């Protein structure tokens, strides 16, 4: 079994695609993402310099001092296994210190993912109103449904949702970007995954271009301390 796993992991790097995040020139883009899933932040300048300011500490630091980051030759920044503590502002500038692009990212904790299956009658998290000075709405902002994983036979599809907070008449914001350094923790503040059954006609392109992501849930009891299994491309229901 171990050998099989090893072979599998050796054969996988070609499949290992990262999510590419991009944003228009000289703009600031805000986005929620799942922790533990690699991303590449686009910045097209071979001399690009990246700075990071955490939501907790104001002082920007050079990204090259962060261990799980890599500046790619074209200027983009690769983050491997990003953590919720890496939530904050990623600033890319050129060699004359002028802004090329900025990303404000909220890496929501994948270990708290709330998973529900629609066709098993499981309900996603409900909207809640919180009193944080004024009253704000906390809700899940859903991505679109991904394509069905089978065709011409029963399959399933999934969608990811992120925790967002909305003040009356304001644009909603990813929860941790909204809260900043406020030390509050509500059980409602979690990313979500929803699964549903599907049955679709075949379309070869869609079958082979499904996005996926990685998460682990530690329910292995005593084994938890010395086991780490990830199973890319797998479904938890099949
Ligand atoms: C929850 O709040 C969001 C944002 O205001 C809204 O789009 C959505 O319809 C609400 N959902 C429910 C079930 O009320």
pLDDT (tens digit per residue) in 138-194: 999 999 998 888 888 888 899 999 999 999 889 999 999 999 877 777 889 999 999
Cβ–Cβ under 8 Å, residues 232 and 214:
yes
Q: Where are the domains of the chain?
A: 19-108, 113-198
Residue % of the chain over a pLDDT of 90: 57
CA nearest ligand 1 atom 11, residue: 127
Helix (H) or strand (E) run with residue 92 in it: strand 88-93
Ligand 1 centroid, distance to 130 Cα (angstroms): 14
CA nearest ligand 1 atom 10, residue: 127
- Out of 127, 188, 192, give the residue to mutate to test ligand 1, the one with the largest number of ligand atoms within 8 Å of its CB: 127
What residues does ligand 1 touch, defined as CB less than 6 Å away?
127, 137, 139, 166
For residues 136 and 191, give the distance between their C-alpha atoms in angstroms, rounded to a whole number: 18
Atom number of ligand 1 nearest to Cα 127 = 1
Ligand 1 centroid, distance to 204 Cα (angstroms): 35
The DSSP bridge partners found for residue 88 are 54, 105
Q: Is the pLDDT of residue 13 over 50?
A: no
Q: Is the pLDDT of residue 66 over 60?
A: yes
Q: Is the pLDDT of residue 3 over 50?
A: no
CA nearest ligand 1 atom 12, residue: 127
Token readout for 68 is 């799980």
Q: Determine the pLDDT at residue 53.
A: 94
Task: Look at the domain 19-108 and name its fold.
Answer: Immunoglobulin-like (2.60.40)
pTM: 0.81
Q: What does the pLDDT average to over 45-66? A: 89
């Amino acid at each position: 079994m171990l050998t099989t796993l090893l072979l599998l992991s050796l054969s996988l790097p070609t499949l290992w695609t990262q999510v590419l995040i991009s944003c228009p020139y000289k703009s600031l883009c805000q986005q929620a993402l799942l922790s533990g899933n690699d991303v590449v932040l686009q910045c097209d300048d071979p001399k690009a310099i990246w700075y990071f300011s955490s939501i907790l500490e104001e002082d920007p630091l050079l990204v090259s001092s962060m261990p799980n980051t890599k500046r790619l030759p074209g200027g983009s920044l690769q983050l491997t296994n990003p953590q919720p503590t890496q939530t904050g502002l990623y600033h890319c500038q050129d060699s004359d210190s002028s802004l090329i692009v900025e990303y404000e990212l909220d890496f929501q904790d994948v270990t708290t993912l709330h998973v529900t299956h629609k066709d098993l009658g499981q309900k996603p998290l409900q909207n809640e109103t919180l009193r944080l000075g004024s009253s704000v709405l906390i809700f899940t902002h859903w991505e679109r449904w991904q394509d069905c994983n089978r065709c011409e036979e029963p399959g399933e599809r999934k969608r990811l949702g992120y925790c967002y907070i909305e003040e009356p008449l304001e644009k909603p914001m990813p929860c941790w970007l909204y809260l900043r350094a406020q030390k509050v923790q509500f059980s409602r503040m979690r990313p979500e995954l929803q699964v549903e059954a599907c049955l679709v006609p075949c379309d070869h392109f869609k079958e082979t271009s499904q996005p996926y992501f990685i998460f682990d849930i530690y329910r292995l009891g005593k084994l938890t301390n010395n086991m780490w299994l990830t199973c890319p491309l797998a479904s938890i229901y099949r």
